[in-house]
Structure 1
């Protein structure tokens, strides 16, 4: 869709920072790389809607509505994610006394539909992981995501320096910028040295091509492997490869998402009898209630738990 100026609105006086400058300052305050990248997508559109020289103090609900128009037909989760970027920016701008009002006041979060079990059957995952027709990079990434139950952005932003092979763990930057550790199992431990091939620095997962050295798509120096000059594998590319590879095993032929590997790991651990505190330790959720989105054991588990707790059944025969 094309962006046009709002009719009948005179250009406001140039007081305070421009919207583009305020956005840059706000993004610089974000520690988590994944959060900064996600917010940047939304706020770049805000700068495009207003123009680079528009004063941030003059932002209106109409500007925010024009930004969110792009995601009108998106899922509730996608809509809420972009709205969160706008509201976070607004809160920061109000604290900095850049904004006196709340341009997001007319926008509402959408209620997500309750989802059923999003886990992938263990046998199909194993078939995917052991299929040598898929590249080593992808098989290591998929296994690592499943065995660590980590978020995709946490694993894709790993550098070789973050790995601790002796203890089979990696240092990740989680939501909110906290430094935490995730742990993997033997299958990943066997494949990881083959992927690294002696590399001691740079991104763990590399793109297929060398990174551009100039232009708007030039990555940061930290996202380039010093030995091969290849850039870091991007989230969209990794997602596309997994969805394409898994489509043949998906009964609906749509393919699965990388985030479903996290769902699957936690679901399978729950089915194996792991307790809620153990699942919380593995997933690194701050609140146990958050696990409800990931672990849905269903009627079969309910029946088994009821039967095992039945006081009559538990009596020993005389």
Structure 2
């Protein structure tokens, strides 16, 4: 989901099940500036979300935190009610624990997924404005680091500068 949405990890970890618009493959997130913006995902996330929401009895979670920690919190460290899943009693997965899990099981950094998504969009010659829209960067200079055209793209654009052949 982090890769397909190109969202900040904290935004995705803050999602609740009831925030998901599964039909349209999107969810509202609160951005760094505090505005509510939409993130969109594709088939990989759409395929995995039902598995993430499934409960042992075959039903699905309908509300509460989307990403959960492995166990229930001990009473001394119990988070506030919005950060506890009403179906399982497990707490919302925190940034630090998500970072450790992703590094341990995939050898990846949480923020690296956002950068990889933006870089792959740049490699695919997606216009800067669309990369900015997807990543929700406000400053073009920040998003420019992802747009590094390769030799093939430069050769292709050079064709525009070639003299036109006369047609009779």
- Structure-2-length-normalised TM-score: 0.87
Contact 2:18 2:62 in 1 (8 A): yes
Contact 2:123 2:150 in 1 (8 A): no
Q: In the alignment, which of 151, 159, 163 is matched to residue 300 of structure 1?
A: 151
Counterpart-to-counterpart distance in 1, 2:102 and 2:166: 51
Cα deviation for residue 194 of structure 1 reads: 1.3
* Larger relative contact order, structure 1 or 2 (CA cutoff 8 Å, min sep 6): 2
Counterpart-to-counterpart distance in 2, 1:147 and 1:277: 17
Instruction: For residue 208 of structure 1, give the secondary structure of its aligned residue in structure 2.
Output: coil
The answer for unaligned runs of 5 or more in structure 2 is 55-59
Does residue 24 of structure 2 align to residue 164 of structure 1? no
Does residue 120 of structure 2 align to residue 268 of structure 1? yes
Structure-1 residue corresponding to 2:111? 259
Counterpart-to-counterpart distance in 2, 1:275 and 1:263: 16
Q: In the alignment, which of 45, 56, 62 is matched to residue 200 of structure 1?
A: 62
CA 1:243–1:298: 2 relative to 1, 3 Å: farther
CA 1:305–1:263: 2 relative to 1, 3 Å: farther
Structure-2 residue corresponding to 1:98? none
Larger mean Cα displacement after TM superposition, 147-156 or 260-269: 260-269
1:42-61 correspondence runs (5 A): none
Cα deviation for residue 296 of structure 1 reads: 4.3
Q: Which has the larger radius of gyration?
A: 1
Does residue 85 of structure 2 align to residue 233 of structure 1? no
Counterpart-to-counterpart distance in 2, 1:317 and 1:273: 31
Q: Deviations over 1:52-95 (max 9, x none)?
A: xxxxxxxxxxxxxxxxxxxxxxxxxxxxxxxxxxxxxxxxxxxx
Does residue 11 of structure 2 align to residue 151 of structure 1? no
Aligned length: 163
Counterpart-to-counterpart distance in 1, 2:166 and 2:116: 37
